[in-house]
Amino acid sequence: MWSEDDSFRRRLIKEVALKLFSQFGFHKTSLEEIATNAGIKKQSIYYYYPNKEAIFDEIVLETARELLQNVDQKIDPNLPAIEKYLMFTQLIYEELKNHAKQIGKVVTPDFIEYTPHGRPIVDKIRLLLKDRLRVILKEGQEQGIFNIENEELTLDALMEMANFIRMRWLIFHDEKRCDQIVREMNRIVLDGLKVRKDQ
């Protein structure tokens, strides 16, 4: 368990690192520069983080958690599950678009999504998203809106279908076309999930 002083130092390191990553990019920022700008010795950073990748990971994961909290606060808990699903996916997509623009200035899209370093953090974020979707799907089943035979399989299928929404895709493709594709994906998904009246 970290002490209050340790927690303060970790926050300071992350704040300084984020500022430097944003200004100079991840690869051009060294631990030495982070330490200097934080007013601590480089060796002190190793007490909290083994390398700058670990600092970056924590920043990304915390940002993802904050993003999900913001999305949760914007969704009326009294909405039917189908509307919650649409709002959730649209809000997440909008947030990802905003973050793609910011992250694109800090690291290359491939660094996050395809490297041995970046992939585990993406997988953790996907689990956070999957847990939120699980709640919405359960509500939809309870409300008699969604027809789901195997919850885990349905969740995995939804996550895989949304897997094309990557940083590279968001950064290098026409935004209007991306918007259209996401809307169409939601239409196809919901038509497949809805309980049919003849059942």
99 and 4 both lie in a single domain: no
96 and 168 co-located in one domain: yes
Give the domain range for residue 181: 53-193
Q: Is 163 found in the same domain as 123?
A: yes
Three-state secondary structure string covering the chain:
CCCHHHHHHHHHHHHHHHHHHHHHCCCCCCHHHHHHHHCCCHHHHHHHCCCHHHHHHHHHHHHHHHHHHHHHHHCCCCCCHHHHHHHHHHHHHHHHHHHHHHHHHHCCHHHHHCCCCHHHHHHHHHHHHHHHHHHHHHHHHHCCCECCCCHHHHHHHHHHHHHHCCHHHHHHCCHHHHHHHHHHHHHHHHHHHECCCCC
CATH number at residue 9: 1.10.10.60
Residue 169 pLDDT? 77
Q: Say if residue 72 is in the same domain as residue 150.
A: yes
pLDDT value at 178 more than 90: no
Q: How many domains does the chain have?
A: 2
**pLDDT tens string 112-134:** 554 555 667 778 888 999 999 99
61-70, pLDDT tens digit by residue? 888 898 899 9
The reported pLDDT for the residue numbered 23 is: 84
